[in-house]
Structure 1
């Protein structure tokens, strides 16, 4: 495993919300990040879909990981998400890539995919601006 990947895993382990949800880091390399989440009943809303807040969280975190892979310590400045269809399945996969980056900012895109018995379906697409943290927060 690369030093960057090990660093990414340590960051994820230090996020109490991510650990509570059971988020896993699958890929973390320059310009790319993939986070996964096993779907549990506690993550669903009243219609049986994964709650939009969970889908949004996963996209946001993947976007920031992708941006952070080229910027270093980073936070989300803004992001937008489009829900394409209900998130149904056994696992969610958020694949994020850097579209453009500079010294202090990166614009990233993320596709959230639900994996289930009927295959894979993209359930959401997000885009965000990620900013390097230049000072202690």
Structure 2
């Protein structure tokens, strides 16, 4: 499968998730043990202080981690667990979750994810870090 085909398939899988459609998420990169998920920062995704809600950051980390693992292990995977550390409030126009497989065996992968906000000029700011374990199913 070509890189273009793999990205297209990843996007189809993401679009099959109702919650991902709700938040407007898209897969902007997929393959070689990595994945990047992006979503527009909208007013309805903010908490009371005007920052992206932690649940939205957590969603993005979980999905990016799982997609990155899927690039290494195949499509039949589920998150076994992950942790997230919020390092600064998330503000900007786009939320970008960039995940990379650190180690993959036959049935599980350990993945690290950087959550970044992107401003109007395209500058990225780190707002959270996550790490998770993903396992094959079936």
TM over 0.5: yes
SS for the counterpart of 1:45 is coil
Residue by residue over 1:3-58, the C-alpha shift from the partner in whole angstroms, topping out at 9 and shown as x without a partner, is 22121011001000000100011001120100001000000000000000000100
Structure 1 portions without partners, runs of 5+? none
Counterpart in the other structure of 2:56: 54
**122, 129, 136: which one aligns with 1:132:** 136
- 1 CA distance for matches of 2:11 and 2:94? 19
Structure 2 portions without partners, runs of 5+? none
- 1 CA distance for matches of 2:127 and 2:45? 15
SS for the counterpart of 2:68 is helix
SS for the counterpart of 2:52 is coil
- 2 CA distance for matches of 1:108 and 1:82? 14
How does the TM-score come out when normalised to structure 1?
0.94
- 1 CA distance for matches of 2:90 and 2:130? 14
Counterpart in the other structure of 1:35: 37
Residue by residue over 1:45-90, the C-alpha shift from the partner in whole angstroms, topping out at 9 and shown as x without a partner, is 0000000000010011000000011111111000000000000111
**60, 85, 109: which one aligns with 1:106:** 109
Of the structure 1 ranges 114-123 and 38-47, higher mean CA displacement relative to structure 2 is found in 114-123
How does the TM-score come out when normalised to structure 2?
0.94
RMSD (Å) for aligned C-alpha atoms = 1.1
Counterpart in the other structure of 2:118: 115
Q: Confirm whether residue 2 of structure 1 aligns to residue 8 of structure 2.
A: no
- 1 CA distance for matches of 2:36 and 2:28? 5
**61, 86, 90: which one aligns with 2:89:** 86
1:117 Cα deviation from its structure 2 partner: 4.2
- 2 CA distance for matches of 1:64 and 1:120? 22
